Amino acid sequence: MGKAMSRARHVAIIMDGNGRWAKKRHLPRVVGHQRGVEAVRKLVRAAGAMGLEALTLYAFSTENWRRPEDEISALMGLLKRFILSDLEEFAADNVRLKIIGDYKALPADVVELIEGAIARTAANTGSTLAVALNYGAQDEIARAARAAAAKGEITPETIAAELDTADLPPLDLLIRTSGEIRLSNFLLWQAAYAEMWFTDVLWPDFTPAHLEEALAAFADRERRYGGR
């Protein structure tokens, strides 16, 4: 008798390769980021149809502040345009927007837009799009441990209950594009027993077909969670 196929409920993606995509084409890095946003749009539209309950995207890490100021400014501008142009579509498609990380440290106008978008989609009951902004997993774990300690005993369960993703399904599959094979301080706790899928495809070229390929590979794996 064959093993049962696994269906992923929660997928997270490290969207890597915008800069390299632009460099290969002798274009400014910001063009790579623009094309990366287009890839996000296509993927979010397709994710619900694929049966995903949650899609978590690594958009801006705590380490990204080290990038040149003009690139950070361009990224913030792209984020604002993305929210402004896509919010009504999220609402119509019953998608809930969630932010993980310390997004309140972002520029005030960005924070205002984010909080409006969160409120606008809070009652949606379809899939969840979680966007990691000013996010670092080590910082998240430290914050969760402090919150757990303030309430009483520190255990894996009490820490997990304080993580930014506590209201999402457990992470099933973590994808990274661009050929890099590392987690880069992303969802370290949540990835403890997640499956990994790495691809050489640069993020702007990543399509729903690639996500389907990753989900098919996931479905064919046997998850043991430390057992035999």
Enumerate the domain spans of the chain.
Answer: 17-219
Catalytic residue among 16, 86, 164, 172: 16
User: At the fourth CATH level, which superfamily is domain 17-219?
Assistant: Decaprenyl diphosphate synthase-like (3.40.1180.10)
Is 64 assigned a catalytic role?
yes
What residues of the chain score a pLDDT lower than 50?
1-2
pLDDT of residue 225: 62
* Residue pLDDT, tens place only, 196-214: 999 999 999 999 999 999 9
Instruction: Check residue 1 and give its pLDDT.
Output: 38
Cα–Cα distance list, 124 to 68, 100, 170, 172 (Å):
37, 18, 20, 22
Distance from chain centroid for Cα 4: 27
- Identify the active-site residue in 18, 64, 93, 220: 64
Kindly report, residue by residue over 79-126, the tens digit of the pLDDT.
999 988 988 888 889 999 999 999 999 999 999 999 999 999 999 999
185 included as an active-site residue: no
What pLDDT sits at residue 58?
A: 96
Q: For the full predicted model, state whether its pTM sits above 0.85.
A: yes
